Amino acid sequence: MSPTVDIGYFALCLSLAAAAYALFACGLGAYSQHDGLVRSGENAALAHFGLLTLAVACLWYLLLTGNFQVQYVAETTNSALPMLYLVASLWGGQNGSIMFWGWLLAFFTVLILVANRHRYRSLMPYTVAVLSATSCFFVSMSLFAADPFKLLPFAPVDGNGLNPILQHPLMAIHPPMLYSGMVGLSVPYALAVAALLSGQLDSMWLRASRRWLLVPWMILGVGLLLGGKWAYVELGWGGYWAWDPVENASLMPWLAGTALLHSMMIQERKGMLKMWNMILVFLTYGMTIFGTALTRSGVIESVHAFARSQVGPFFGFYLSSFILFSAALLWIRRKELRAESKLEAFASRESAFLLNNWILLGMLFAVLWGTSFPVISEAFTGEKITVSAPFFNQVNVPIGLILLLLTGAGPLFTWRRTSTQSLKRNFRLPLTAMVVAGVALALFGIVDFYALISLSLCVFVAAAIGLEFHRGAAARQRSTGESYVRGIYGLLSKSRRRYGGYLVHLAMIMLFVGFTGQAFTVDREVVLRYGESAQIGRYTLTYESLAYGEDANKTVTMAALTLLKDGEVATTLLPQRHFYKVADQGTTEVSIYSALREDFYVVLVGAADDNSAKFQIYVNPLILWVWLGIIAFLLGTVWCLWPSSRERRLADEDRARTRRSETAPGWLPEIGLSTAGPPGG
Amino acid sequence: MHSHILRLWVPLTLAVLPATASVPTPEEIKKVAVDLVCLCGSCNRQSLATCICSEFAVPQRQRIGQFLQSGKSAEEIVTQYIAEFGVHILAAPPARGYSLIAWIGPFVGLIIGFAAVRLVLKRWRWQTPGAAEPAGVAATPKPAGTADYRRQLEQELGEFDEER
């Protein structure tokens, strides 16, 4: 037996003690205004991170060296597994991923502590206490219900291997992204609780949380879509989103976070919705925990699995105490969370934001409802039912279309009130564009009801955003005399939040265009012999040959096909089937020819000895727009996040001021800043 | 190696063999299968129309083809599958009986939500703002009805430039 197991296990135990101490010291220190205690607690949070890092490093070492006596290593890896997947198997199984989750949380705690140790000093003690409480929960679950260092009574010769469908490069980055996004959303929650506990209920906590919300939200969004990309290239059913409970579990906090991102703007500008924003931040965090509980406890498979699973009761306890705690906190502070101003007109940006919240939460509710309905049904009637993609598509398509409409319409309303004339002026062009586009699309033969509405609405939103940019640039041109193009750049760089937000909306249009393409998917199955061709729309597919290969991990069967598009050679497609020896399980490796208009997607279903093979073919229109949409989403959000020159100046001044007035240095190892000598000297 | 190729191939040869008149096309089979899910246990209940697992989906699609060929209607086939595997083979809960709740739920939620938004807006419109906050802040001057759009835009742009 390796000492690494013991070191890892003890580091995990000690990290729990450190987190518990951080919770206690920061909480008590903040309550009694005892600076020394707070600092000690914050140092404990750092120690917690260090110890957990050691535990993670130990597990990584055990995975990489193939110590199969450790149950987790034996269950998730085997000796033939390539390096990349050995590294990724840290989060490939339940017990490892729970510890990894805890590690990410500790990492975020350290991040916020280092980043905000001066700026939002008064919020930090409670923030660290709340994050440490969450850490305590995850680490104790890791220790008592999902021990990754648990030993088998014997040392098997080899492990079971990572589930073959997870053996894909995207799987090495998609789960850590999702986890970072989900875990990161604990930070705004912690800041909100800190504001409630300390009674600093102005908008400071919101300002402090904006980036801590935006970054995890962005990572979660990209992670979701990368998961879709993985499903598209790995699962071989031609689509990217199956409304699987695991997918839904990460979509729900993203939707709640999206609602919060919008409604927090009302509070910043108008001092309204204070209570509501608190509820939303709790909902967002609660959804990350609830989603994890849903997918980790096995409750989806069967209600009875929940009680049997070891982590189930942990989640149940944590979720119920979280709900009680939040509700009590909000109740106590309810009077201090009143709105500072009133609504001046129904036709205003404020109302539009509320409608945005309504539809986003409506969608969240629909997803939550559909995901939990089988559980509820089984619990109450004993009957198992399935709620899968057809349900979610039918329910969410209309909701999504309303959301799209509001994406375009919302920004056309001005703050406070919008006069009828300006409404007319604002809506005239986008509506005209929408109608023209709708008629044109119908004439082009797009008669699918939802698709027609969706694409017309995309034009509406694009026109509305275009109009915003145009008016802004024209106004700048008039007032400053700069050129139109410079004007647009000026808008983008001076009002990063507003116009960056529009960039994200544009990314959403791209995504919706991509989603709409699904309505026109062509699905064909063909059997071809060597040299035979099949005609699918404007494509000609010719089966050329079949090849076999093998490595330590798997055997590979690969077909070669030539694809002609409108009679000209487009590409050679190489769909494969892999067969994983240890898992005794096959996977498909699809081959895709991708263009802006459509994807040509081929799956090798099977091959026979008489030189014939069966192929499943999908022609997926517009799907590339989904992947381009991810990139646009990422760029737009980064644009919003990037500090403006004014903000950088303010931050610099802030920093200079605090450095001058810092009277008691050395409470925290100021990374790279204060290593010059003994503190206080 | 060859054994697994053969395994993949078995359903396929079956598919080719009974090549009599009016053989249902894969598309016709999928039209029925799309209402059902695969119960192989490893694919997370994918649609029976798209799942490619050889343990359940492929042979069952095969069977649906035979049913169709023997003259059964889509409804009859689905009914038989429910009788055989239980109602959870349906991809979505049937829109009748108590599982109608599943379908109505989201829209009831939306309607209640909308009513709540309306109520909140109305209360905001007529209620005086919280007393805790100092006078003056709330008394923001109201724009005189039809303010010139350009001035408003520039003012708004100015405000946005101001805020970080």
Q: How far is CA A200 from CA A155, A191, A194, A209, A333, in A?
A: 56, 11, 8, 14, 11
**Average pLDDT over every residue of B62-76:** 89
Confidence of residue B128 (pLDDT cuts 50, 70, 90): low
Long-range contacts (CB closer than 8 Å, 24 or more residues apart) made by A322-327: A322/A285, A322/A286, A322/A289, A323/A286, A326/A193, A326/A282, A326/A286
Adjacent-strand bridge partners of A70:
A151
Confidence of residue A235 (pLDDT cuts 50, 70, 90): confident
B147 interaction partners in chain A (CB closer than 8 Å):
419
Nearest of A636, A615, A431, A389 to residue A515 by alpha carbon: A389
Residues A375/A299, Cβ–Cβ less than 8 Å: yes
Nearest of A599, A602, A603, A604 to residue A620 by alpha carbon: A599
Inter-chain residue contact B45 with A647, CB threshold 8 Å: no
Adjacent-strand bridge partners of A548:
A557
Inter-chain residue contact A417 with B93, CB threshold 8 Å: no
Inter-chain residue contact A608 with B154, CB threshold 8 Å: no
Residue B72 contacts A, CB cutoff 8 Å = no
Q: How far is CA B72 from CA A67, B64, B65, B78, in A?
A: 56, 9, 10, 10
Distance to chain A for B72, nearest Cα, Å: 23
**Residue A419: closest C-alpha in chain B:** B146
**Average pLDDT over every residue of A101-114:** 95
Identify from A237, A554, A615 which residue to disrupt to test chain B contact, counting B C-beta atoms within 10 A and taking the largest count: A237
Residue B156 contacts A, CB cutoff 8 Å = yes
Q: Say which residues have a Cβ less than 8 Å from residue A537's Cβ, sequence separation at least 6.
A: A522, A619
Q: B31 or B156: which carries more pLDDT confidence?
A: B31
Inter-chain residue contact B13 with A608, CB threshold 8 Å: yes
**Average pLDDT over every residue of B30-38:** 88
How many Cα atoms within 13 Å fall on the side-chain side of residue A287?
A: 35
Predicted pLDDT at A554: 85
Structure tokens at A202: 């102005």
Q: Which amino acid is at A504?
A: V
Q: How many C-beta neighbours within 10 Å does residue A597 have? A: 12
d(CA A490, CA A504): 18
Inter-chain residue contact B90 with A386, CB threshold 8 Å: yes
Q: Say which residues have a Cβ less than 8 Å from residue A539's Cβ, sequence separation at least 6.
A: A563, A564, A565, A570, A600, A619
**Average pLDDT over every residue of A433-460:** 91
A242 interaction partners in chain B (CB closer than 8 Å):
44, 46
Structure tokens at A428: 């005239």
Structure tokens at A99: 């510890």
- Transcribe B4-61 into DSSP letters: HHHHHHHHHHHHHS---TTPPPHHHHHHHHTTBB--SSSSSS-BTTT---TTTHHHHH
Predicted pLDDT at B126: 73
Q: A206 or A341: which carries more pLDDT confidence?
A: A206
Distance to chain B for A365, nearest Cα, Å: 6
Confidence of residue B157 (pLDDT cuts 50, 70, 90): low
The pTM score is 0.88
d(CA A578, CA A558): 9
* ipTM of model: 0.83
Q: What is the CA radius of gyration of chain A?
A: 27
Residues B148/A405, Cβ–Cβ less than 8 Å: no
Predicted pLDDT at A327: 94
pLDDT per residue over A179-212, tens digit each? 999 999 999 999 999 999 998 888 888 888 988 9
Nearest of B37, B109, B101, B92 to residue A381 by alpha carbon: B101
Q: Coil, strand, or helix at residue B88?
A: helix
d(CA A127, CA A37): 15
Nearest of A18, A25, A148 to residue A93 by alpha carbon: A148
Adjacent-strand bridge partners of A571:
A563
Sign of CA dihedral A426, A428, A430, A431: positive
**Residue B159: closest C-alpha in chain A:** A495
How many Cα atoms within 13 Å fall on the side-chain side of residue B139?
A: 3
Residue with tokens 């402090």: A208
Distance to chain B for A465, nearest Cα, Å: 15
- The distance of Cα B153 from the centroid of its chain, to the nearest Å, equals 41
Q: B residues 107-146 near A, CB within 8 Å?
A: 107, 109-110, 113-114, 116-117, 120-121, 124-125, 127-133, 137-138, 140, 142-143, 145-146
d(CA A648, CA A663): 24
pLDDT per residue over A113-140, tens digit each? 998 878 888 899 999 999 999 999 999 9
d(CA A219, CA A222): 5
Residues B74/B87, Cβ–Cβ less than 8 Å: no
pLDDT per residue over A466-512, tens digit each? 998 998 888 888 888 888 888 888 888 888 888 999 999 999 999 99
In chain B, what's the furthest Cα-to-Cα distance?
Answer: 87
Residues B120/B113, Cβ–Cβ less than 8 Å: no
A269 phi and psi angles, rounded to 5 deg: -85, -40
d(CA A8, CA A16): 13
Residues A8/A55, Cβ–Cβ less than 8 Å: yes
Inter-chain residue contact A344 with B142, CB threshold 8 Å: yes
Confidence of residue A448 (pLDDT cuts 50, 70, 90): confident
Predicted pLDDT at A412: 87
Nearest of A594, A458, A453, A437 to residue A513 by alpha carbon: A458
Q: Give the pairing of strands A539-550 and A554-565.
A: antiparallel
Predicted pLDDT at A1: 61
Structure tokens at A425: 């002026």
B38 phi and psi angles, rounded to 5 deg: -80, 135
Inter-chain residue contact B8 with A365, CB threshold 8 Å: no
pLDDT per residue over A247-303, tens digit each? 899 999 999 999 999 999 888 888 888 899 999 999 999 999 998 888 787 776 666
Buried b (16+ CB within 10 A) or exposed e, B96-134: eeebeebbebbeebbeebeeebeebbeebeeeebbeeee
Lowest average pLDDT, out of A316-325, A385-394, B1-10, goes to B1-10
Q: B99 or A573: which carries more pLDDT confidence?
A: A573
Distance to chain B for A434, nearest Cα, Å: 23
Identify from A210, A387, A580 which residue to disrupt to test chain B contact, counting B C-beta atoms within 10 A and taking the largest count: A387
DSSP label at residue B133: S
Inter-chain residue contact B133 with A608, CB threshold 8 Å: no
**Residue B150: closest C-alpha in chain A:** A475
End-to-end Cα spacing for chain A: 49
User: Can you give the length of chain B in residues?
Assistant: 164
End-to-end Cα spacing for chain B: 64
B78 interaction partners in chain A (CB closer than 8 Å):
none
- Could you state, in order of their start, the residue ranges of all structural domains in chain A? 3-334+355-369, 397-519+629-645, 521-625
Residue B41 contacts A, CB cutoff 8 Å = no
B103 interaction partners in chain A (CB closer than 8 Å):
391, 395
The region, left, alpha or beta by phi > 0 then psi within -120 to 50, assigned to residue A108 is alpha
User: Can you give the length of chain A in residues?
Assistant: 681
The chain-wide mean pLDDT, for chain A, equals 88
d(CA A450, CA A456): 10
d(CA A393, CA A243): 8
Between vectors from CA A276 to CA A422 and to CA A315, what angle results, nearest 5°? Answer: 140
d(CA B133, CA B163): 22
B14 interaction partners in chain A (CB closer than 8 Å):
none
d(CA A362, CA B113): 7
Q: How far is CA A403 from CA A120, A186, A348, in A?
A: 35, 26, 17
Partner residue opposite A385 with nearest CB, options B93, B105, B121: B93
pLDDT per residue over A403-413, tens digit each? 999 999 988 88
Residue with tokens 């939200």: A217
Distance to chain A for B5, nearest Cα, Å: 7
B162 phi and psi angles, rounded to 5 deg: -65, -50
Q: Coil, strand, or helix at residue A524?
A: strand
d(CA A56, CA B5): 41
Identify from A234, A266, A346, A391 which residue to disrupt to test chain B contact, counting B C-beta atoms within 10 A and taking the largest count: A391
Partner residue opposite B52 with nearest CB, options A271, A605, A650: A605
Alpha helices in A309-348 (DSSP H): 311-332
Residues B38/B53, Cβ–Cβ less than 8 Å: yes
Partner residue opposite A390 with nearest CB, options B54, B92, B116: B92
H/E stretch holding A532 reads none
Partner residue opposite B150 with nearest CB, options A366, A370, A475: A475
Q: A568 or B98: which carries more pLDDT confidence?
A: A568
Inter-chain residue contact B124 with A608, CB threshold 8 Å: no
Inter-chain residue contact A354 with B117, CB threshold 8 Å: yes
Inter-chain residue contact B121 with A351, CB threshold 8 Å: yes
